[in-house]
Amino acid sequence: MNGPAAGRRRFCQALDLIDSPALIEEYQRHHRRIWPAIADHLRRHGILEMEIYRLGTRLFMIVEVGADFDAARFDAASLNHPEVQRWEALMWQYQAATPWTPQGEKWVVMERIFSLQQQ
């Protein structure tokens, strides 16, 4: 198994969900088919792949980006995109910061502590 293709970078992030089976199901339903403008926004800014996994109320997201991905540019574009802001406000109704999330943030980048390829 190989790592990301040349020029790709991978980010792993965590976030929690509100502990409510009904809200969790609703959150998952929203992600079965995200709004087309959201998918377009992600792709236009160099996000090549994004996956979200869930265990209980903990979410784990893997994001693969191209070599030209600029996080600051992506964040600025997201803040200035009305539909992205509506999506984020809607998702925050289901999400909760982890105990380790800095105030005012949502998804937090996780620290990689192991790689089989480096063994």
- pTM higher than 0.85 for the full model? yes
Whether the CB-CB separation of 1 and 115 falls below 8 Å is answered with no
Q: What is the pLDDT along the chain (119 residues), one digit of tens a residue?
A: 345 567 889 999 999 999 999 999 999 999 999 999 999 999 999 999 999 999 999 999 999 999 999 999 999 999 999 999 999 999 999 999 999 999 999 999 999 999 999 99
* Candidate CATH numbers 3.80.10, 3.30.70, 3.30.390, 3.30.2310; the one for domain 16-110: 3.30.70
As to burial, measured by CB atoms within 10 angstroms (0-12 exposed, 13-18 middle, 19+ buried), residue 15 is: buried
**What is the token pair recorded at 90?**
């809607």
**Residue 20 in contact with residue 116, Cβ under 8 Å?**
no
Q: What is the DSSP letter of 110?
A: P
Give the pLDDT score at 15: 98
